[in-house]
């Protein structure tokens, strides 16, 4: 192919470059749109209110354990006393397993009213008695659960 005096060859090359650049820009824009678009609409969540009101509830596992009168009359297993573990930042299911594994029972469970509706992913934010306190084996440990958005300390 020969160059014509009007620069046709250079113009064609420049057009090819511009077309490739436009395709590249379009591909980048489509990738950005695709990656930033939510796959499904996020459910609207109420704005958390910073209250610290608690609501007393019965442990969901109460039907599986002894009644309060039976628990009060139960004698602790041999060994008599143990140190309370740290159950902070565990879900209720994990905390229950840990409490029972340590030889204690889950007492009352309360929820803070911050962060929306209570779900299975809420975490233990406080416990009574505190971690490290010696108590009789089989004693109840009360738990307070908070929103999963709470910040848990890192070890």
Domain ranges of the chain: 9-38, 54-146
Please determine, for residue 52, whether its predicted confidence score (pLDDT) is greater than 60.
Answer: no
SS3 130: coil
Which band of pLDDT confidence, cut at 50, 70 and 90, is reported for residue 61?
very low
Tell me the whole-structure pTM to 2 decimals. 0.49
Of residues 15 and 35, more confidently modeled: 15
Our CA dihedral for 33, 34, 35, 41, rounded to 10 degrees, sits at 100
CATH of domain 54-146: 3.30.10.20
Residue 23 pLDDT > 50, yes or no? yes
Rounded to whole angstroms, what are the CA distances from 119 to 90, 145, 146? 13, 10, 10
């Amino acid at each position: 192919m020969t160059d014509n005096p009007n620069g046709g060859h250079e113009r064609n090359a420049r057009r090819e470059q511009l077309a490739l650049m436009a395709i590249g820009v379009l591909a980048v824009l489509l990738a950005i749109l695709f990656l930033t678009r939510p796959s499904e609409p996020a459910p609207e969540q109420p704005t958390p209110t910073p209250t610290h009101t608690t609501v007393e509830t019965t442990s969901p596992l109460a039907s599986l354990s002894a009644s309060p009168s039976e628990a009060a009359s139960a004698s602790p297993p041999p060994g008599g006393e143990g140190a309370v573990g740290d159950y902070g930042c565990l879900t209720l299911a994990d905390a229950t397993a840990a409490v029972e594994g340590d030889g204690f029972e889950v007492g009352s469970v309360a929820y803070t009213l911050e962060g929306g509706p209570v779900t299975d992913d809420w975490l233990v934010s406080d416990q009574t008695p505190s971690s490290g306190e010696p108590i009789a084996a089989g004693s109840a440990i009360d738990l307070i659960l908070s929103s999963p958005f709470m910040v848990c300390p890192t070890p």
